[in-house]
Amino acid sequence: MRKPKAMIRKGILLLSLILLNASVKAQSLSELYEKVNPAIVVILTEQKELVSSGKMTQTVTSGGLGSGFMISDTQIVTAAHVVQVAEKVNVQFLDGEIIPAKVISAYATADVALLELIWPRKNAVTLKLADSDAVKVGESVFVVGAPYGLGHSLSSGYVSGIIRDKEDKNPFTNSEYIQTDAAINTGNSGGPMMNMKGEVIGVVSNILTQSGGFQGIGFASSSNITKELLFEKKIIWNGTDLIPLTGKVAQIFNLPQESGLLVQRVVKLSPFGVLGIEDGDVEMTLNGEKLIVGGDIILSINGVKFESTDESLVNIAKVMERKSENAPLEIVVFRAGKKVTLGRK
């Protein structure tokens, strides 16, 4: 009769240890949240959108929302899709202060962007970008952001996979994503995915969903691809939304070369906007994909012709790796059936 009692005591002890471990983990996560939360910001944007009503199409200004995090008193990392074509960017801090910002760099494929505040944040709390190569599947992670703009919140989960595609020399196509089951919703984009040391291992990108809400799979661009693209490659943000035109699609647009980049939207005060590049004003569907047409089609940048080859894309990336916004820039576009050269010396 003593043996079952001993087993019961062992079972109770084991359960107590499990509950204690869960309590310690919850407490440490709560402490980490309190520590990192002041570094998390809400990104408020304004951008142009085409709205169709019957046979009428007009351009309106719409608001956007995302998250981000501070890495210095003037710099903030967020997701590229949050700010790529934003006409105006404001950063809201935990205490309610709002500081305007400008986009410095953005990569659509990797979905990472760097913002610079117009003036420094006083007493800034910053986060550290960790080595994402050390991340393991099954590792505990947590995400902090502003889902739906309802204030800061935390969700936790595990790393469920790592998707690497960064062997290509072209930074426009490089990407590396960490997959997680931590809840990610609208407004979380650009916020940090963090390890249990409170270090950033990823920048929240998107969710895989059919309903528009979280359904168990979310992705974050790895911290290492973020460091490589934003702080080593340093391609300056161009302020455009571009779609490649190749093959038969390029022939439909009667391009004078095999490929081009169709300008969907352009921010007027961006480097490409100031140069005089024009965006489209008519929506159409081609091969099941929605396009905005009527704008410029980029044929070449600084003498490098756009072609759907790895060599061409690498050369364009090298051209765009400029350390100064005022560096010489010449872009040839196809506009109304003619080649037009835009540029600055």
Residue at which a domain ends, from 117, 142, 170:
117
**Number of domain units in the chain:** 4
234 domain residue, yes or no = no
**Domain limits at 261?**
240-344
On whether both 88 and 13 belong to a single domain, the answer is no
Tell me, yes or no, whether 125 lies in a domain: no
Per-residue confidence band for 164, with pLDDT thresholds at 50, 70 and 90: confident
Residue 279 shares a structural domain with residue 337: yes
The CATH number of whichever domain residue 324 belongs to comes to: 2.30.42.10
Identify whether residues 100 and 166 lie together within a single domain. no
DSSP codes joined into one string, 110-125: TTEEEEEESSPPTT--
% pLDDT > 90, the chain: 40
The CA-CA-CA angle for residues 330, 333, 337, to 5°, reads 150
29 and 50 both lie in a single domain: no
Flag whether pLDDT at 4 surpasses 80: no
- Calculate mean pLDDT across residues 121-126: 94
Report if residue 303 sits inside a domain: yes
Per-residue model confidence (pLDDT) at position 59: 77
Please report whether residue 197 resides in a domain: yes
Residue 300 a catalytic site member? no
Least confident of 177-181, 215-219, 282-286, 329-333: 215-219
pLDDT of 273 > 80? The answer is: yes
Tell me the pLDDT of the chain averaged across its residues.
83
Q: Give the pTM.
A: 0.84
Give residue 92's identity as a one-letter amino acid code: Q
- What torsion, rounded to 10 degrees, do the Cα atoms 64, 68, 71, 74 define? 20
Label the pairing between strands 140-145 and 153-165.
antiparallel
Residues 310, 218, single domain; the answer is no
Q: Which of these is catalytic: 67, 81, 175, 221?
A: 81
Residues 137 and 186 in one domain: yes
* Amino acid found at 216: G
Q: HSE (CB half, 13 Å, CA atoms) of 206? A: 12
pLDDT in the model for residue 37: 93
Domain boundary among 190, 223, 256: 223
Please tell me the least confidently modeled range out of 231-245, 255-269, 304-318.
Answer: 304-318
208 and 297 together in one domain: no
297/277 Cα distance (integer angstroms): 9
Question: Catalytic residue among 105, 111, 156, 270, which?
Answer: 111
218 and 244 in one domain? no
The token pair that represents 319 in the structure block? 């051209």
pLDDT at 113: 95
pLDDT at 204 over 60: yes
- The secondary structure of 291-316 as a DSSP string is EEESS-EEEEETTEE--SSHHHHHHH
- Structure confidence by residue, pLDDT tens digits, 126-152: 999 999 999 999 899 999 888 766 678
Residues 267 and 317 in one domain: yes
69 and 86 in a single domain? The answer is yes
pLDDT band (50, 70, 90) for residue 325? low
| Lowest-confidence pick of 37-41, 147-151, 257-261, 288-292 | 147-151
**Residue 209 included in any domain:** yes
The answer to whether residues 339 and 332 touch, using CB atoms and an 8 Å cutoff, is: yes
**Domain assignment present for 180:** yes
Say whether pLDDT at 25 is over 70. Answer: no
Based on the domain organization, do 143 and 212 belong to the same domain? yes
Residue 122 is assigned to a structural domain of this protein? no
pLDDT of residue 312: 73
Options 67, 105, 155, 189, the catalytic residue: 189
- Tell me the helices (H) and strands (E) count for the chain, helix number first: 6, 20
Active site residue 111: yes
Give yes or no: 152 in active site.
no
Same domain, 245 and 339: yes
- CATH number of the structural domain spanning residue 162: 2.40.10.10
- Out of 26-40, 95-109, 152-166, 315-329, give the one with best mean pLDDT: 95-109
Is 78 a domain residue? yes
At 193 the pLDDT is 93
pLDDT at 304: 87
